[in-house]
Amino acid sequence: MALISLILFCQGASGASKRDFRGAWIQTVFQGYDKRTTEQNQSYLRSLLDNLQATGINAVIFQVRPAADSFYPSPIEPWSRHLTGCIGAAPARLWDPLQFMIDECHKRGMEIHAWLNPYRVTASANEQLPDNHLCNLFPKRFVKYCKRIYFNPALPENRQHIVGVVRDIITRYDVDGIHFDDYFYPYPSNGEEFDDEAHYRSSGTKLSKPDWRRRNVDILIESVHQTISETKPWVRFGISPFGIWRNNTSDPEGSATSGLQNYDDLYADVPRWAAMGWIDYQIPQLYWETDHQRASYRVLCDWWADHGEGRHIYIGQDVKKTADACELPEKLRQIEEIGPERIQGNCWWYAGNLPAISAQLKEKSYSTPALVPEYLWKHVEPADKPGTPVYKDGKLRWNADDHASKWVVYRFDKASDVDVENPSAIKAVTYRPEFIPDCGGCYVITALDRANGESDHSSPVTVSLP
């Protein structure tokens, strides 16, 4: 399948930020994939990506492991029931949704991050697992909580299994990132206790039980980071936590909120992971109204902007709630006031709802194209400046540097106008060293390395079209 990425952008107003993470989550749980044919699913996903491209989205977070299963042929875990209707059953017409999405996202110049839920095994109470499922073969490795089944985070063999899934994905697939969402230890419910007391007592730890649980999750996150660093160090690792770290009634460093807490209830100390260099970005889920009484978006946006810990912060936005409350302009205004040094973008929950605000985004914040921000701490070889592009047979072509992951195509009226800091001039991001111009003008090319660092621009070439 061709991997030409053709994000064709309209010329927009200058002055907008050239670097901006514009993500969207595509979930696969209970989305009807099992009710459609392979061809219908592919058509659905292409249409969804076309809409995201038209809006200006430059990164897709695609759910590939909803519950210890897979939306790709895995040697480790079974095909997902959410894809085929029956866990372990392959699609009737075999296809690889993850590879399909990599190809389709890269065609459109979008990054793709593979989204995994680390600990969940079942998503509802009535799911039946086959006899050969890991949960039935080794039941002592799992905990049943609120009628759902979870990997026990305390067990090294479970961490090794999850790390093995990550290693398999990044080894076999050209994903740009690995993404975990907000589910670590399960959300507390009905006063029921997560049954890990025996493992806590036998661990010999001197930590309190909450600290011990946090340490269990810390070990997984550090292990995933190490695996990525050893396998493909340019792959990003991001977390999308619940929007409150701690309330300031629990910790003076916390936010002026009064809701559930990542640190205390899910045992996930996400800012610590960023400070330790284990993750590359945080996308806190700030799905509340700007002045919500217990969890104000306004308060939390400022709090997270101060807790990037040297890594990127992208704000997780709920499209429907924001549209229903008519709060998009105010939410975007606050991020603009905070500035790109502290908040580097947004991610939209969820992709299917984005048309409700696409026109507003295109008019304001997404009026010009943007590149995904550079990950300055990633140790990659910088890409060389492309040679002078050659226009022949209706295509621009240029030399492909081994250190380049993709290229940026800029168009100007004439050579004296060349200014690659102007995002209005971006015509395309392409994963192949070629581009089909749709209008005449002066073109230059830059290369992006694996960390999104940009090379100097090529010498200009003038294209004349009839």
DSSP sequence for 6-18: --------TTS-S
Q: Which residue has tokens 């459109």?
A: 108
User: Which pTM was predicted?
Assistant: 0.95
The model's confidence at residue 364, banded by pLDDT at 50, 70 and 90, is confident
Q: What is the pLDDT of residue 17?
A: 86
Element (H, E) at 214: helix 209-231
Answer yes or no: is pLDDT of 15 > 60: no
Mean pLDDT (whole number) for 375-396: 96
Answer yes or no: is pLDDT of 10 > 70: no
User: Quick one: DSSP state of residue 139?
Assistant: G
Q: What is the pLDDT of residues 208-254, one digit of tens each?
A: 999 999 999 999 999 999 999 999 999 999 999 999 999 999 999 99
d(CA 391, CA 14): 27
Q: Which residue has tokens 């038209």?
A: 54
Answer yes or no: is pLDDT of 382 > 60: yes
Q: What is the pLDDT of residue 14?
A: 39
Using DSSP, state whether 120 is helix, strand or coil: strand
Answer yes or no: is pLDDT of 421 > 80: yes
Phi, psi of 164 (to 5 degrees): -65, -35
The model's confidence at residue 345, banded by pLDDT at 50, 70 and 90, is very high
Answer yes or no: is pLDDT of 403 > 50: yes
Domains by residue range for the chain, with CATH: 21-363 (3.20.20.80), 390-463 (2.60.40)
Phi, psi of 430 (to 5 degrees): -130, 140
Q: What is the pLDDT of residue 5?
A: 37
Q: What is the pLDDT of residue 13?
A: 38
Contacts of 99 (CB under 8 A, 6+ apart): 72, 173
The model's confidence at residue 191, banded by pLDDT at 50, 70 and 90, is confident
The model's confidence at residue 190, banded by pLDDT at 50, 70 and 90, is confident
Answer yes or no: is pLDDT of 3 > 80: no
Q: Show the 3-state SS of 334-347.
A: HHHHHCCCCCCEEE
Using DSSP, state whether 412 is helix, strand or coil: strand
Work out the percent of the chain whose per-residue pLDDT is above 90.
Answer: 94
Q: What is the pLDDT of residues 130-183, one digit of tens each?
A: 999 999 999 999 999 999 999 999 999 999 999 999 999 999 999 999 999 999
Q: What is the pLDDT of residue 466?
A: 79
Answer yes or no: is pLDDT of 308 > 60: yes
